[in-house]
């Protein structure tokens, strides 16, 4: 039975994470459109009570998500560094770089998630001003 090369698995994982980044970006754009429409409604003073409760609820939810993102990143940074160190210590440099690709792409995904959540908190905070 022939074995699957480890590089192929690494590349496949990187590809999956890249697809997750594109999905995250698409979701971000859709949510941003909703916030823009809410801003237009607020500017024209046509926000309903449901819109106002939606803004307040989402603001709280995204503030919680930011705290969770920061906790997750504090835990994951040392793990990424440990993985990178192990790869560099036990593999040839060329081979280690192939596998580090997964770590780097995962790091980028976590950063994008954190940035998106911070942006939503900023937008929702601005929308939440002068409500009621």
Looking at residue 48, the DSSP 8-state letter turns out to be -
Considering only 3-7, 35-39, 64-68, 93-97, which range has the smallest mean pLDDT?
Answer: 3-7
Is position 37 within any domain? Answer: no
Is position 12 within any domain? Answer: no
Q: Residue 6's pLDDT is what? A: 81
Is position 68 within any domain? Answer: yes
Angle 6-43/49-90 helices, nearest 10 degrees? 160
Is position 111 within any domain? Answer: yes
Is position 103 within any domain? Answer: yes
User: Please, what is the end-to-end C-alpha distance for the chain in angstroms?
Assistant: 69
Q: What mean pLDDT comes out for the span 27-43?
A: 94
Q: Is it the case that residue 132 has pLDDT exceeding 70?
A: no
Indicate the SS3 state at residue 14: helix
Confidence band, pLDDT 50/70/90 cuts, at residue 1? low
**Spatial separation of the C-alpha atoms in residues 25 and 113, rounded to whole Å:** 9
Q: Residue 80's pLDDT is what? A: 95
Q: What mean pLDDT comes out for the span 32-41?
A: 94
**Spatial separation of the C-alpha atoms in residues 48 and 34, rounded to whole Å:** 14
Is position 109 within any domain? Answer: yes
Q: For residue 76, give its domain range.
A: 54-131
Q: Could you write out the DSSP letters of every residue in 47-65? A: --HHHHHHHHHHHHHHHHH
Residue pair 13/102 in contact (Cβ under 8 Å)? The answer is: yes
Number of structural domains in the chain: 1
Q: Residue 36 is encoded by which pair of tokens?
A: 């823009």
User: What percentage of the chain reaches a pLDDT higher than 90?
Assistant: 80
Q: What is the pLDDT of residues 113-122, one digit of tens each?
A: 999 999 999 9
Q: What mean pLDDT comes out for the span 32-51?
A: 92
Is position 76 within any domain? Answer: yes
Is position 127 within any domain? Answer: yes
How much is the pTM? 0.86
Q: Residue 78's pLDDT is what? A: 95
């Amino acid at each position: 039975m022939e074995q699957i090369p480890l590089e192929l698995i690494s590349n496949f994982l990187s590809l999956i994470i890249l697809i997750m980044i594109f999905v995250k970006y698409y979701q971000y754009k859709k949510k941003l459109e909703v916030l823009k429409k809410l801003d237009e409604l607020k500017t024209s003073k046509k926000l309903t009570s449901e819109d106002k409760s939606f803004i307040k609820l989402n603001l709280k939810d995204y503030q919680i998500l930011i705290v969770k993102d920061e906790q997750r990143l504090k835990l994951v940074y040392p793990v990424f560094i440990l993985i990178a160190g192990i790869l560099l210590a036990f593999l040839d440099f060329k081979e280690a770089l192939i596998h580090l690709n997964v770590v780097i792409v995962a790091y980028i995904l976590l950063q994008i998630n954190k940035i998106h959540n911070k942006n939503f908190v900023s937008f929702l905070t601005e929308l939440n001003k002068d409500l009621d």
